[in-house]
Amino acid sequence: MADAVSLRFPDGSERDYAAAATGAEIAGGISKSLLKKAVAYALDGELRDLADPVGRSGAIEIVLRDDKRALELIRHDAAHVMAEAVQELWPGTQVTIGPVIENGFYYDFARDTPFTPDDLPVIEKKMAEIIRRNAPFAKTVWSRDKAREVFAAKGENYKVELIDAIPAEQDLKIYSQGEWFDLCRGPHMASTGQIGDAFKLLKVAGAYWRGDSNNPMLTRIYGTAWATQDELKAYLHMLEEAEKRDHRRLGREMDLYHFQDDAPGTVFWHPKGWALYQTLVSYVRRRQEAEGYQEVNAPQLLERSLWETSGHWEKYHENMFVTETEDERVFALKPMNCPGHVQIFKHGLKSYRDLPLKLAELGMVHRYEPSGALHGLMRVRAFTQDDAHVFCTEAQIAAESLKINELILSIYRDFGFDHVLVKLSTRPDQRVGSDEMWDRAEASMREVLTIIEQEGGGQVTTGIAEGEGAFYGPKYEYTLRDAIGRQWQVGTNQVDFNLPGRFGAFYIDRDSEKKTPVMLHRAMLGSVERFIGILLENCAGHLPLWLSPVQVVVATITSDADDYAMEVAHLLKKAGLKVETDLRNEKINYKVREHSVAKIPVMLVCGKREAEERTVNIRRLGSRDQTSATLDAALAALVDEAVPPDLRRIRQDDAAAA
C-alpha cells in the first residue's frame, strides 16, 4: 500500500491504511453504525475533523457524541450556529471571536444597537432552525489575500484585523456550514445536527474588542450547551442555586460588607462581617499554632531591590502597586509574603536543629487586578493570605508535606467540605534548578500523593497536572467541591528550591557546612476574603453557630416580655454568645421573616407566657418547626453548640484522658 500508515486502536489491534484515509472512512470501514455515531477522531490524543486524512501512524480513537471530549465540540459548533443565527436575523452585524469557555461558549458582536436579553429567545429559535437543517461542516484553506478580500467585502473589519494578526506561516482555515462561514482553527463535528437541542443562551454583556478599554465596545452573548437535556437542566438548576447563594447578595442581606469605587477591589467590612472575619482568623491561628507555626508580620512596603532579587519585579511587576518617595526610592506594596519571611529566617544564625522552621503570617497583600476582573470577595485587589513558609531540608519535604496535608484536610472538614481534589503540578518548561533536583522532588511528592489518597478516607481524590508547577518547584493544589458541585481551588503547598538561595539564606548542617534550605509555601484558606465568599455560597448564608457573627436574636411577642427578653440576652452574652434583641412593636411573623433574610441561626421568642414560666420558644433558620425549652436548658445547649470544632476536639480528648 502506497504511503501506508499504521494505526493502533483502543483494543490494541493495529491496521494499515493509506495516509490519505480520513477519519470518516476509517470509522465507516469498521461499521456504518459507528460512522453514524462518530463526531470526530483523535490521533495520539489530538482531536481532528472526521474529514481530515490521518497522514501519519499513531494511536487512533473514533470519538462519539457521548464522549467527554465531544462536549467541547458541541459548544464550539453551537457558537458558530449562534453567530450564523445572529447574522441571519440582523444582517450587517459583524462577528468577531467566539471561543469555548468553561461550561459553555460566547461570541462577541459589533452592532450599532447592542443586543438585549429580549433578543435571546429569538436567537435560540433561529439556532434550532439551523441545527435542524443539519448542514455539514466543511473546512477549506484560503490564502491570506483571499481571506482579507472576502471578509473586507462583507464589511467584517474585525475579521480582517484578526487575519492580519495571524502569523504568516499559519494556514487560514475557513469552516462553513451551508452558506455561512467563519475563520476558525477547528475542529468541528460532522454537521450542525449533531449539536442537538440541549443548549441555552444565558445573558448579554459588554466587552471591549481584544479586552482593551481603548477599543470599541462590543456585545457579548453567552450560552451553554450539553450532550443531553438532563445535563442542561442540571446545569441551569445549578445556576439558579448559584444566584440564590451569590455571596454579594448575601453580604447585603446579612449586612457584612460593601465595596465602592473609592477603593476598587477592597472590602469595607461592617461590624458583623468583621466579627465573622475575626472568628475565622482566630480559628486559623489556633490550628496552626497547635502545629508548631510561629506567627510573624513582615512590612507592607518593601524596596524595589528586594523584589528584583526575589524575581517578582520581572515576573509580576504589572500586578504590583508601586510608589516613589521624595528621595527617589521606589517601593512596592507586597503582593505576597514570602520575601519578607526569608528576611526573618535570615535574621540570626540557623542550625539544622532549628529545621523545620514554620513561619506563618495572616498578611494583607495587594495585587492589581483589571477592573473588569473584580468580583465581590472572589476577586479583589487587597486580601489577607493565611500564608506560611516551612524552611526545611530536602529530606524533610515528604514528612512536612504530609503534615500540611493533614492540617488542610482537617480544616476543610471543619467547614463542611467533604470532598477535596489534590493535584500534583509537575515541572514546567521554564524552570530553575537541575533536572536531578526536580526528579528527586517529584518522586518524593508522587509518593506522598499516593499516601494522601490512601489515607483520605473517601474524602480525597488525586490527580497529576503535568507541566503546571511553579518555575521554582512542584506543588500540590487543593480544590474544594461545594454544595452545588462547583469547584474552588483554595489551598496550596509549593516546594521552592529557588527563593532562599536568591537571598543567600542558609543554615549550618551536621558537618558545619552552609546549606540552602528548601522553602514550602503553604496556604490553607488561600485568601481569607475569598474563603468567606466560598463559605457563604456553600451554605447559602446558613453559617454554623460557632462562626455566625450574630448567633442569637431574642425577640418579643408583646412588650410585657421586654424585661424578660433583656434578661435572656444578658445571660446569653455573659455565657459568651453573640446576641441581639428585637423589642420592636412589630408582629412576630414580621420579625421572623426579617431575621431569616439576615440568616440569623437561632431566634429565641419570648412572650408573656414564656416570661412567667422562664422558658423560650426556639426557632431555627430554615426550619418551620418550633421547640420550647427552659431558659437554663436552652442556654446550655446553645453554649455547647457554639464551641468551635477544634476546641470541641480538645475538650473531647481531655475528657477521654480523664
- Give the helix/strand (H/E) hosting 570: helix 562-574
Place of cell 442581606: 253
CA atoms within 13 A on the CB side of 517: 28
Closest CA to 542 of 598, 477, 488, 626: 598
The dihedral formed by the CA atoms of 478, 483, 487 and 492, expressed in degrees to the nearest 10: -20
- Between vectors from CA 338 to CA 334 and to CA 342, what angle results, nearest 5°? 120
| 187 contact partners, CB below 8 Å, separation of at least 6 | 40, 47, 48, 49, 52, 73
Question: Starting at the edge strand that comes first in sequence, how are the strands of the sheet with 301-303 ordered?
Answer: 301-303, 330-333, 322-324
**CA gap 95, 393 in Å, rounded:** 56
Cis peptide before 356 (omega within 30 of 0): yes
**CA gap 54, 3 in Å, rounded:** 11
**Active-site residues: which are they?**
338, 367, 385, 387, 389, 475, 521
Place of cell 453567552: 222
**CA gap 601, 551 in Å, rounded:** 6
| 159 contact partners, CB below 8 Å, separation of at least 6 | 94, 95, 96, 151, 182, 183
